[in-house]
Amino acid sequence: MAVYELRPVDFSVLSLIHHNPGITSRQLCATLNIQPPNLVGMVKALENRSLLTRQPHPNDGRAVGLHLIASGQKLMHDVERTAQALESDATARLTAAERKTLIRLLQKIYL
Provide the CATH number for the domain around residue 19: 1.10.10.10
The 3-state DSSP class for residue 13 equals: helix
Reported as a single tens digit per residue, the pLDDT across 49-106 is 999 999 988 877 788 999 999 999 999 999 999 999 998 899 999 999 999 999 899 8
Mean pLDDT confidence for 3-28: 93
Residues in Cβ contact with 96 at an 8 Å cutoff, skipping those fewer than 6 apart: none
Our count of domains for the chain comes to: 1
List the domain range (segments joined by +) for residue 28.
2-110
- Between vectors from CA 33 to CA 66 and to CA 80, what angle results, nearest 5°? 55
CA distance 8 to 11: 5
| pTM (global) more than 0.85 | no
